[in-house]
């Protein structure tokens, strides 16, 4: 049985684990390459952090400017700002009723929507644009009518 193993190619080979001069040079070279690669990764991460800081500063500046403009508008139009707040509250109540009708229809015809493209398209055509526009109007009115303490 040992003869058959000697004629077949070896599955396992011997590995020299002694510390040879070539091996130590190769390991030192590999360590140097790894160190250099880590330095490059660190430099790239530092640059990414700088870019993110610049982006945050830019967004913060833009947000502060928008908030200042909104505050000036509210100060110049206090009665209209109050009317916007009341209109947003009224439209929010309308939105709740609209969502109730929408969810009732979904619950009644949900199975038909799942299997019938026509029913689904009719539903989306009926409720989708109206809901999207209503949400947009409420958002604008709420922002224009928000209390000045938020600024």
Query: What are the DSSP calls for 14-60, one per residue?
Result: ----S--HHHHHHHHHHHHHHHHHHHHHHHHHHHHHHHHHHHHHHHH
Spatial separation of the C-alpha atoms in residues 105 and 84, rounded to whole Å:
31
* Contact of 141 with 84, CB cutoff 8 Å: yes
* Contact of 70 with 150, CB cutoff 8 Å: no
- Higher-confidence residue of 25 and 77: namely 77
Q: 99-144: per-residue pLDDT in tens?
A: 999 999 899 988 888 888 888 898 899 999 999 999 999 999 999 9
Q: 2-44: per-residue pLDDT in tens?
A: 454 555 566 766 655 565 555 566 777 788 889 999 999 999 9
- Higher-confidence residue of 11 and 78: namely 78
Query: Is the confidence at residue 62, as pLDDT, over 80?
Result: yes
Rounded to the nearest 10°, the torsion over CA 89, 142, 94, 136 is 180
Query: What are the DSSP calls for 43-104, one per residue?
Result: HHHHHHHHHHHHHHHHHHHHHHHHHHHHHHHHHH-HHHHHHHHHHHHHHHHHHHHHHHHHHH
Query: What tokens were used for 87?
Result: 């209109």
pTM for this entry: 0.58
Rounded to the nearest 10°, the torsion over CA 119, 124, 127, 132 is 170
- Higher-confidence residue of 11 and 145: namely 145
Spatial separation of the C-alpha atoms in residues 54 and 33, rounded to whole Å:
32
Query: Is the confidence at residue 151, as pLDDT, over 50?
Result: no
How confident is the model at residue 111, as a pLDDT?
Answer: 86
């Amino acid at each position: 049985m040992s003869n058959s193993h000697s004629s077949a190619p070896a599955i396992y080979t011997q590995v020299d684990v002694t510390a040879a001069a070539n091996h130590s040079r190769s390991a030192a070279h590999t360590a140097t390459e790894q160190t250099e690669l880590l330095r490059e990764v660190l430099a790239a991460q530092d640059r990414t952090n700088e870019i993110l800081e610049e982006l945050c500063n830019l967004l913060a500046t833009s947000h502060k400017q928008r908030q200042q403009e909104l505050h000036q508008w509210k100060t110049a139009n206090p009665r209209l700002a109050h009317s916007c707040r009341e209109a947003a509250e009224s439209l929010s109540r309308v939105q709740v009723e609209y969502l109730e009708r929408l969810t009732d229809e979904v619950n009644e015809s949900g199975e038909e929507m799942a299997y019938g493209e026509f029913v689904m398209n009719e539903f989306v055509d009926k409720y989708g644009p109206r809901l999207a526009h209503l949400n947009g109007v409420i958002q604008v009115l709420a922002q224009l009518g928000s209390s000045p303490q938020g600024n």
